[in-house]
Structure 1
Amino acid sequence: MNKNVIISCAVTGAGETNEKSPHVPVTPKEIADSAIKAAKAGATIAHIHVRDPKTGKLSHDVNLFQEVVERIREADTDVIINITAGGGGDWIPSESDPTRGGAGTDMQTPEERHEPVGLLLPEICTLDCGSVNFGDQIYISPTEWLRKQAGLIKDSGVKPELECFDTGHVRFANQLVQEGLIEGDPLFQFCLGIPWGADADAETVAYMKSRIPENAHWAAFGIGRMQMPMVAESVLQGGNARVGLEDNLYLKKGTLATNEQLVDKAVGIIQGLGADIMSPADARELLKLNK
C-alpha cells in the first residue's frame, strides 16, 4: 500500500463533456480556476487540456495553453502543472474512402504535439505510448513518432508521464526507457476502462505494475463509475491516483461533480485507507522535477 499518495486532477479533457455538464471548464480562466480549486482541495498535480472558448471543443492553440499556465503559476496556491502532449491523434476512416480520414479526424505531427510543452516547459507532460481503439475511433501514435516526441521532451527537460491504455503500451514505454529516451525514474500512468483498452480492475493494475521497472513511479485511474474504485485499488497496490472531469462527470449517480468535489472525495478515500496526500513540494522532490 502507498502511504503517501500523489493525486492528479485531470480538469477538462478533450471530449465533448462540456455538453453534458456545466461544471466542465472551457475558457482558459475557467480551466485555471478549476485547477487551483482542485489544488486547494488536495490535488498535487493538475493535468491540462485546453478548449476553444467559443465552441467548447478540443483546441491545440498554444496561446490558450499559455494563458492557463500563466494563470496557475501566478496563483498563490501551489500545484504541479502537467500539460497534455497527446495532441491530435484521432483517426476516423472516411466512409467513401477508408484510406483518408473522415469527419472528426484530428492529426498532429510529433513536433506539433510537443509545441506547447517546448514553449511553456511545464514540470510534467504526457506521452501516450501507443495507438489504441478509442471507442469508435482510433488514437494514432506510431512508434517512430513516439521516439521522436520522447526525444523532444527529453531535450526540453520536462518529465514525461508515460500514458498506457493497454498492456502493449507498457512494453513500448519500457523500450523507450531501455533506449535512453526516458531519463531518471520513469513515471507511468495506467489509463483504464476506456473502450477498447485495458480493463479497470485489480487484475489489470497488478499485471501492469508488475511489468514496469523497479525504480518507476506509477498511478492508475478508471473512467466513469470506476473512477473512485480505482483510486482505492491503486493506493492499495502501492500507486498514486487520478480523478477529474476529464474521466468522470459524477460525484454519485445522478449528481454532477466539480473537480474540487472529486478531489475531496478521493482525499477522503485515501485518508480512510490510512494514507496521506503528498504535497506538490514533496512530489517535486520525489519525482525529481525541474520547476
Structure 2
Amino acid sequence: MNHDVFITCAVTGAGDTTGRSPHVPITPAAIAEACVEAARAGAAIAHIHVRDPVTGKAARDVHLYREVVERIRASDVDVILNLTAGMGGDVVFGSGETPLPLAAGTDMVGPTERLAHVAELLPEICTLDCGTMNFSLGDYVMTNTPSTLRAMAARVKALGVKPELEVFDFGHLVFVHDLIKEGLLDGTPLIQLCMGIPYGAPDDPLTLMAMAHRLPKEAVFSAFSIGRNQLPYVAMAALAGGNVRVGLEDNLFLGKGMLATNGALVERAGTILTAMGARVLGPAEVRAKLNLRQPT
C-alpha cells in the first residue's frame, strides 16, 4: 500500500456530460473555480480540459486555457496544473461500408498545434495519451500514432513540462517502456492507469494489479475508474501502491442519486484515504516527489 498519496481532480473532461449535471463546469471562470474548490478540498493536482463556453462541447482553444490558468494562478490557492494534450487526436469514421469521408467531430492536428497551449502557458504537468483506442462511442477513435507521440514527448521534454502518461490498456504500457528506452522522458515516469473505459482495460482488481506489475520500477503512478467505481478505486489505487484521481470528468455522483461536485469527490477521497491510514500530500510535497519545474 502507498501510505503517502496525492489526489488529482479531473474537473470537467471532454465528454458529453454537461446536460447530465449542473455541476460540470463549462466556462473558463467555472473551470478555474472548480480547480480552486478541488484544491481547497485536498487535491494537489488539477487536471484541466476546456469547453466551448456557449455549447459546452470539448474545445482546445489556447485563449480558453489561458483564461483558466490565469484565474487559478491569480487565486490564493496553490495547486499543480495538469493540462490535457489529448485534444486534436479525434477521428470519427463513417459507419459500416462507408468509413470515408470522415464524419463530423473529426479533429486531427499535428503535435505542435496539440501542444500550443502547453508551450504558451508552461504548466507543471501535461498529459500524453499513450496509444490509439476505440472509445466506445459509435465510430470514434482516439488517435495517437507512435510518431505523433514521440514528437509530442520530445517537445514536452524540451519545454521542461512533466508528461503524465495516460495508459488505457497493456499495449500503451509497452509504448511507455519504449519512450524510456529512447530517452524521450526525463526523471521519474509519471503514469496514470485509466481503467474501466470501453474498450480499454477493465477495472477488475486482477487487471489493475497486472498493469501495476508491468509499470517501470521507478514509476510514480495513479489509477482511476469511471462511474460508480470511481470512489472504490480510491482505495484500490492506494492498495496497489499508487495515487488517486477523482472528479466530474470521470463520475458525476457521490452516491446513488446524489450528484457530486468536484470538491465533494475530493473530500470523500480524502476521507477514504485517511480512514485507511494514508496521508494526503499537498502540492509542495508532490512537486518535490516528482521534481517538477517551479510554477511561473
Q: Same fold (TM over 0.5)?
A: yes
Structure 1 counterpart of 2:173, from 160, 166, 170: 170
Q: Deviations over 1:44-66 (max 9, x none)?
A: 10000000101111111000000
Whole-angstrom distance in 1 between the partners of 2:209 and 2:163: 22
Whole-angstrom distance in 2 between the partners of 1:260 and 1:18: 17
| 1:132 alignment partner AA | M
Q: Quote the offset at 1:98 in angstroms.
A: 1.2
- Greater Cα shift, 130-139 or 104-113: 104-113
Give RMSD over aligned pairs: 1.0
Alignment-derived partner of residue 285 in structure 1: 288
Alignment-derived partner of residue 131 in structure 2: 130
Structure 2 residues not aligned, in runs of 5+: none
Alignment-derived partner of residue 39 in structure 1: 39
Whole-angstrom distance in 1 between the partners of 2:143 and 2:62: 21
Whole-angstrom distance in 1 between the partners of 2:196 and 2:106: 23
The runs of at least 4 consecutive aligned structure 1 residues that moved more than 3 Å come to none
* 1:1-291 mapped onto 2 (5 Å cutoff): 1-95=1-95, 97-136=98-137, 137-291=140-294
- Greater Cα shift, 169-178 or 93-102: 93-102
Q: Deviations over 1:256-277 (max 9, x none)?
A: 1100000011011111100010
Structure 1 residues not aligned, in runs of 5+: none
| 2:99 alignment partner AA | P
| 2:105 alignment partner AA | G
Q: Which TM-score applies when normalising by structure 1?
A: 0.98
Q: Which TM-score applies when normalising by structure 2?
A: 0.96
Q: How many residues align?
A: 291
- The answer as to whether partners of 1:87 and 1:112 remain within 8 angstroms in 2 is no
Q: Deviations over 1:178-203 (max 9, x none)?
A: 10001101000000101100011211
Percent of aligned pairs sharing the same letter: 54
Q: Quote the offset at 1:139 in angstroms.
A: 0.5
Whole-angstrom distance in 2 between the partners of 1:110 and 1:97: 28
- The answer as to whether partners of 1:129 and 1:162 remain within 8 angstroms in 2 is yes
Whole-angstrom distance in 1 between the partners of 2:8 and 2:210: 22
